[in-house]
Amino acid sequence: MLRHYDKLGLVRPTGRTSGGYREYVDDDIRRLFHVESLRTLGLSLDETRRALDDPDCAPVELVGNLARHTRARIASEQELLTRLEHVDATAPTRWDDVLRIVHLLRALESGSGSLRQQALLSQDPSTSLPVDALVEAVLSEDDPNVAGALHWSLARAGGRGLPALAAAMESDAAEVRRRAVEATTAVRTADATALLRRALADDDPTVRTRAALALGDRGDTAAVPTLVELVVAGRRDVEAAELLGSLSETAPSTCDIVGALQDALAAAHDAPTRLRLTQALAEIPGAAAREVLTRLTADDDRTVAGTATAILGRTNPGRRSRSRVREDADPW
């Protein structure tokens, strides 16, 4: 290094011994330390020489430029690290696997929705997927088709994406939590169900709605209070009522759905809400629901009373309503 600096003329020893050895005096050492100091700021040898020798060379812009370049380098190194960690997470055994993963990651970063989607759908089912990258992608995916492909891929990966989805469920941004809960509904594991249950307590009504509908679909009675809330609020109430109906078929003893609807009826004072709750009772099989409906035929609200009467007059109301819901195109 000393020889190099000497050759460049950056730090020259003032003298030489009789044997030809370089002899550095105090001023040379000082200059050497100055060079080392500036080098810790990332200056090149040439910039260092100009800084020390050229009185016109001002530090402000050079230091500013160095900072800008360093920030840019950090950003790209950070991207590189994320890529490496995503690849590493799939524990590839051959470079072929690495190439497939890199191709997928690059496609996911691309601006073209069809490219993103195509890369996802063309994945070999036997290769393991970079689930954290998929979760990251699904949390910022605007294109519903690509989001669908991501859900499918995450479902294929089983529960391996759930830790990242659970973390996303703690996000401050409601949109992120919504996308997380939607992705979670695609995963059919007990852990996914547990995560959906936690989402029932979310502040955002959309998050709660999606969690409740997904849990209801899994026959999970933990969804019942939120499903009743949906009927009350008139949000996705037909589907919610339908799910309450099948829940009381599959788990009749564990939870009193008729009781919950009755409580909601007692608490509701506006006519449309009471009508929705009455219609929901039509979905519930068994004597308990019919009993409540019978009482409702004498309700003060004539629409409610009339609806209750009509429901009781039908032979098999549940099956009819359910098939109607199933015919809806894209219920989301």
Tell me if 21 contacts DNA by CB under 7 A: yes
Q: Closest distance between a copy of itself and the C-beta of residue 84, in Å?
A: 4
- Nearest CA to 238 out of 212, 264, 276, 211 is that of 276
Tell me if 9 contacts DNA by CB under 7 A: no
Tell me if 40 contacts DNA by CB under 7 A: no
Neighbouring CB atoms inside 10 A of 317's CB total: 21
Candidates 12-20, 50-58, 168-176, 254-262; binding stretch for DNA (CB under 7 A)? 12-20
Q: Closest distance between a copy of itself and the C-beta of residue 88, in Å?
A: 5
Residue 121 interacts with, from a copy of itself, DNA, none (CB under 5-8 Å by kind): none
Half-sphere exposure of 85 (CA within 13 A, CB side): 10
In angstroms, rounded to a whole number, what is the distance separating the alpha carbons of residues 159 and 303? 47
Candidates 11-19, 162-170, 202-210, 311-319; binding stretch for DNA (CB under 7 A)? 11-19
Tell me if 324 contacts DNA by CB under 7 A: no
Instruction: Kindly give the interhelix angle for 287-296 and 257-267, rounded to the nearest 10 degrees.
Output: 20
As given in the structure block, the two tokens for residue 1 are: 């290094």
Q: Closest distance between DNA and the C-beta of residue 191, in Å?
A: 42
Site residues (vs a copy of itself, CB under 8 A)? 34, 37-38, 40-42, 51-52, 57-60, 63-64, 66-67, 70-71, 73-74, 77-78, 80-81, 83-85, 87-88, 91-95, 97-99, 102-103, 106
Q: Is 6 or 143 the residue whose CB approaches DNA more closely?
A: 6
Residue 2 interacts with, from DNA, a copy of itself, none (CB under 5-8 Å by kind): DNA
Q: Are strands 15-16 and 22-23 parallel, antiparallel or unpaired?
A: antiparallel
Residue 331 interacts with, from DNA, a copy of itself, none (CB under 5-8 Å by kind): none
Cα torsion 320, 324, 326, 327: sign: positive
- Cα-Cα-Cα-Cα dihedral of 199, 203, 205, 206, to 10°? -60
Tell me if 271 contacts DNA by CB under 7 A: no
Residue 126 interacts with, from a copy of itself, DNA, none (CB under 5-8 Å by kind): none
Instruction: Tell me the Ramachandran region of residue 42: left when phi exceeds 0, alpha when psi lies from -120 to 50, beta otherwise.
Output: left
Please report which helix (H) or strand (E) contains residue 56, including its range: none
Q: Closest distance between a copy of itself and the C-beta of residue 40, in Å?
A: 6
Q: Is 46 or 109 the residue whose CB approaches DNA more closely?
A: 46
Q: Closest distance between a copy of itself and the C-beta of residue 83, in Å?
A: 6
Amino acid residing at 218: R
Close Cβ partners of 294 (under 8 Å, ≥ 6 residues apart): 308, 312
Residue 77 interacts with, from a copy of itself, DNA, none (CB under 5-8 Å by kind): a copy of itself
Amino acid residing at 63: V
Q: Is there a contact between 319 and 282 (Cβ–Cβ < 8 Å)?
A: no
Q: Closest distance between DNA and the C-beta of residue 22, in Å?
A: 3
One residue of 14, 30, 46, 286 binding DNA per CB under 7 A: 46
Cα distances from 78 to residues 70, 72, 81, 141, in angstroms, run 12, 10, 5, 21
Per CB under 7 A, residues contacting DNA are: 1-4, 17-22, 39, 44-46
